[in-house]
Amino acid sequence: MQQRSEETQTKIMESAIKLFSNSGYNKASVDDICAEAGISKGAFYHHFKSKQKLFLALLDGWLQTIDSAIDASKDMTAPESFTRMTEAFPYIFETAGDGLPMFLEFWLQASRDKKIWDASIAPYRRYHKYFTSLIKKGVDEGSFVEVDPELASRMIVSTAMGLLLQSLLDPKGAKWEKVARESTTMLVSGLLKK
């Protein structure tokens, strides 16, 4: 039967997210993950060849979420797509509270581990290209003011990453969903032609 197997795998991944978020990739040991998931080490290595493979599986799942979100807004006009994201951002802050530290963990591991870097930087560059083309499209359509799409894309991504980081490090320092919503509004209204 696959059901039990599937459940075990899900439990491992959920426990891993929890422990990686709380303690970090290195500190969260395979034994810890097994204990949290309520399974044995044998079961763990039956499902994942190594600890790193588990990490890559988690990364993959996260990237797919983003990909499908981008796909969903593929046929919209440029301002529409941005409006969508303006709506999506506060949602990320509200719901992702648990998994958020994982982002940081992804970035950190990516900066040191070539395999993880390859798996995460390639998609990141895709997103940047997507943003760039989206802004370029908006400029060509005449709905955006004339900006350097490349630069504007970097700035938008930077602001988003920076807000995520700040909310991670100082969760109670501000009402981050509000700051995020207002920031995106400011950025978009700065782009839009009046």
Q: Which stretches of the chain bind a second copy, using CB under 8 A?
A: 22-24, 26-27, 101, 104-105, 107-108, 110-112, 117, 121, 124-125, 128, 148, 150-151, 154-155, 157-163, 165-166, 168-170, 173-174, 179, 182-183, 186, 190
- Classify residue 146 by its DSSP letter: S
Q: And the tokens for 121?
A: 């930087």
Question: CB under 5 to 8 A by kind: which of a second copy, DNA, none does 108 bind?
Answer: a second copy
Is 10 one of the binding residues for DNA (CB under 7 A)? no
**Radius of gyration over every alpha carbon of the chain, rounded to an integer in angstroms:** 19
Question: CB under 5 to 8 A by kind: which of a second copy, DNA, none does 124 bind?
Answer: a second copy
Report the residue number, 143 or 159, with the smaller CB distance to a second copy: 159
Q: Distance from first CA to last CA of the chain, Å, rounded?
A: 61
| 102 closest CA partner among 25, 193, 46 | 25
Is 5 one of the binding residues for DNA (CB under 7 A)? yes
* Total Cβ atoms within 10 A of residue 29: 12
Among positions 31-50, residues that touch DNA (CB under 7 A) are 31-32, 39-43, 45-47, 50
The answer to whether the CB of 55 falls within 8 A of the CB of 116 is yes
Distance (Å, rounded) from C-alpha 5 to C-alpha 149? Answer: 47
Q: Which residues bind DNA (CB under 7 A)?
A: 1-5, 7-8, 26-32, 39-43, 45-47, 50-52
